[in-house]
Amino acid sequence: MGEVRLTIQVKSLSANGAPSEPVEVLADTGATLTLLPSTVLHRAGIQPEDRVSVQLADGRIADRQVVNARVTGEGHSVPVRVMFGEPTDSALLGLTVLEQLGLAVDPVSPRLIPAKFILY
């Protein structure tokens, strides 16, 4: 499967009139939360509100700062929890946000496709 990248906008939920910031992200169905560069979040007037413990790809456990923010991508906009990335981190759009945006990764033609919301 190839990489699926897209440009999203991130905006503060609390700062009225604060600018949104564009950021290119990798759609990562193996990540739960979205990880964005701290510099992008700070430019958008977004400050950390909490910390979470996360398991990294290499199995290590790390604490990361998080905040609720508005993410817009592929014509949809949702309030979501995002993690503050460290300088060596890649920007990732996690599975939770993909699902909230109503998107899925098509592994055959690496691209995003509309997904159905499920209510059982």
| Residue 20 belongs to a domain | yes
| Residue 83 belongs to a domain | yes
CB 82 within 8 A of CB 65: no
| Residue 110 belongs to a domain | yes
3-class DSSP state of 94: strand
| Residue 9 belongs to a domain | yes
Structural domain total, the chain? 1
Q: Which amino acid is at 63?
A: D
Q: What is the CATH number of the domain that holds 61?
A: 2.40.70.10
| Residue 19 belongs to a domain | yes
3-class DSSP state of 43: helix
| Residue 25 belongs to a domain | yes
Give the domain extent around 52: 5-114
The CA-CA-CA angle for residues 35, 68, 91, to 5°, reads 15
**Model-level pTM greater than 0.75?**
yes
| Residue 120 belongs to a domain | no
Helices and strands, number each (H, E), in the chain: 2, 9
* Per-residue model confidence as pLDDT tens digits over 77-111: 999 999 999 999 999 999 999 999 999 999 889 89
* Per-residue model confidence as pLDDT tens digits over 47-73: 999 999 999 889 999 999 999 999 999
